[in-house]
Amino acid sequence: MSVITRFAPSPTGFLHIGGARTALFNWLFAKHHGGEMLLRIEDTDRARSTEAAVTAIHEGLHWLGLDWRGEPISQFARADRHAEVARQLLADGNAYYCYATPEALSEMRETAKAEGRSMRYDGRWRGRDPSEAPAGASPVIRLKAPQDGATVIQDLVQGEVTVQNTEMDDMVLLRADGTPTYMLAVVVDDHDMDVSHVIRGDDHLTNALRQRQIYDLMGWSAPHFAHIPLIHGADGAKLSKRHGALGVEAYRDMGILPAALRNYLLRLGWSHGDEEIIDTAQAIAWFDLEGVGKSAARFDIPRLESLNSHYIRTMDEAELCKLLAAQLCQGQARELSAVEAARLPLALDALKERAKTLIELADKAGFLLDGRPLALEEKAAKLLEGEAPAILARAHACLGAVEDWNLEPLTEAIRGLAEAEDLKLGKLAQPLRAALTGRNASPGIFEVLYFLGRQESLDRIGDHMA
């Protein structure tokens, strides 16, 4: 039997970080077993589903590098099939019409809450004859759930979970307007699509027991369930859309690489011994449900950034160079000039180990762009005070004599000058750095000269010498 998983988001917003991890786990599990993942949009609630959200989910998954089998499935498109199953349950005596109005129901809940009882549907229409139905009212169809005994699932992450049937009420299967509820649709679809493993957030754990009742009454065998713990915010509170849950595109905009986010999300709730850096191929080879932890994890940005810096340093340079160029042009009305673009690959190696995100990378690469006279950061301006202009004048003269503008000759020239002047190298390097980059921190000063080229370097030094 082949492994089929599904990622089944509701299209009510962007692909948030918890959903992204759920998708990743489903994808990895399927890949690991040579199976496939389905994408099913759970859009049975027409009022809350939007096309924009569907698009956002597609784009989010695409950016993350996750794919699925075939076309995305719209759950709503299968409403007829869901209704058919509801009618069969009805015909078999495993479901019944309920004429309780929404108002009556919420009143019932209020009373139960006030009296400290559990807020369940009381089954008032369970045994009644259809002839008692109020005229003109359109009923919902409810499952006639077992009233004694217990329902059990063997969860691949949480273990055996048991709930007494007295704790569960008769859930609505088909709404008054004839559309299916999620609870029915999810069971019918997972069954019809031969889903072998349902991997989802553990906020669905108690739902699984209710769904189990439908499987049992239909005489279907249930898929394997794996309820993975939720992700919390840095403060430990639930990560929700109101509380810091960002869409994956927010991480893209923060300059996070998809590979880094995958690795981070993988290690949040799953482990393989002490392994930390796990690329996607390795993840597919290793991923299993036994490695999934049971407790919720907090989202920690510094750790994500640490992983991100690793992937920035190790990724393909040409690829990174493209990302850097794109980032540098962001918000800028102009393209990079040929001269500027040529500096990027030269400097990339030095730059990339100083950046945790693409944003930082672009920021630190800023000095490579033309724009004399350079804007000076405060600390850089300080470095250009006092005897600095005089020193720069001598450096300018010294560098002007360098014919072969390469790392070794430049190093020799500057070191030679420092020695001749009996200056510590820092005394010379810091003003140069300030004049050349406008900052007090940058890659090594010989490299900076080399990246910028002869003319630009000399011009920038000239701007600040006495």
Partner RNA sequence: GUCCCCAUCGUCUAGUGGCCUAGGACGCCGGCCUCUCACGCCGGAAACAGGGGUUCGACUCCCCUUGGGGACGCCA
Candidates 27, 121, 225, 367: give the one binding RNA (CB under 7 A): 121
Integer CA distances (angstroms), 26 to 148, 187, 207, 298, 307, in order: 34, 17, 19, 20, 22
Residue 156 C-beta: closest distance to RNA, Å: 12
Residue 117 C-beta: closest distance to RNA, Å: 6
Candidates 35, 72, 258, 291: give the one binding RNA (CB under 7 A): 291
Residue 381 C-beta: closest distance to RNA, Å: 14
Candidates 55, 84, 110, 117: give the one binding RNA (CB under 7 A): 117
User: Which of 44/94 has CB closer to RNA?
Assistant: 44
Residue 132 C-beta: closest distance to RNA, Å: 15
177: contact with RNA by CB under 7 A: yes
433: contact with RNA by CB under 7 A: yes
Candidates 23, 37, 39, 163: give the one binding RNA (CB under 7 A): 163
Site string for RNA, 339-378 (x = CB under 7 A): --------------xx------------------------
Candidates 55, 62, 107, 237: give the one binding RNA (CB under 7 A): 237
- Residue 4 and residue 29 in contact, taking contact as beta carbons nearer than 8 Å: no
Candidates 74, 165, 271, 282: give the one binding RNA (CB under 7 A): 271
Candidates 5, 22, 44, 151: give the one binding RNA (CB under 7 A): 44
Residue 357 C-beta: closest distance to RNA, Å: 12
User: Which of 175/339 has CB closer to RNA?
Assistant: 175
280: contact with RNA by CB under 7 A: no
64: contact with RNA by CB under 7 A: no
Kindly give the pairing relationship between strand 95-98 and strand 159-164.
unpaired
Nearest to 251 by CA among 308, 201, 317: 308
Site string for RNA, 10-39 (x = CB under 7 A): x-----------------------------
269: contact with RNA by CB under 7 A: yes
45: contact with RNA by CB under 7 A: yes
- Residue 17 and residue 261 in contact, taking contact as beta carbons nearer than 8 Å: no
Active site residue 241: yes
**Which of positions 86-115 make contact with RNA (CB under 7 A)?**
100-102, 105, 109, 113
236: contact with RNA by CB under 7 A: yes
Nearest to 283 by CA among 303, 262, 268: 262
Candidates 79, 193, 289, 296: give the one binding RNA (CB under 7 A): 296
| b/e map 173-201, b = 16+ CB within 10 Å | bbbeeebbbbbbbbbbbbbebebbbbbbb
Candidates 324, 429, 434, 435: give the one binding RNA (CB under 7 A): 429
Count of residues engaged in binding RNA, rule: CB under 7 A: 87
144: contact with RNA by CB under 7 A: no
Candidates 127, 136, 273, 331: give the one binding RNA (CB under 7 A): 273
- Residue 71 and residue 84 in contact, taking contact as beta carbons nearer than 8 Å: no
User: Which of 149/302 has CB closer to RNA?
Assistant: 302
The whole-angstrom distance between residue 240's C-alpha and the CA centroid of its chain comes to 13
User: Which of 87/204 has CB closer to RNA?
Assistant: 204
Residue 316 C-beta: closest distance to RNA, Å: 18
238: contact with RNA by CB under 7 A: yes
Residue 295 C-beta: closest distance to RNA, Å: 3
- Residue 385 and residue 457 in contact, taking contact as beta carbons nearer than 8 Å: no
213: contact with RNA by CB under 7 A: no
| Contact window for RNA (CB under 7 A) among 61-69, 244-252, 396-404, 437-445 | 437-445
User: Which of 203/412 has CB closer to RNA?
Assistant: 203
Q: Which of 31, 144, 238, 241 is catalytic?
A: 241
422: contact with RNA by CB under 7 A: no
Residues forming the active site: 241
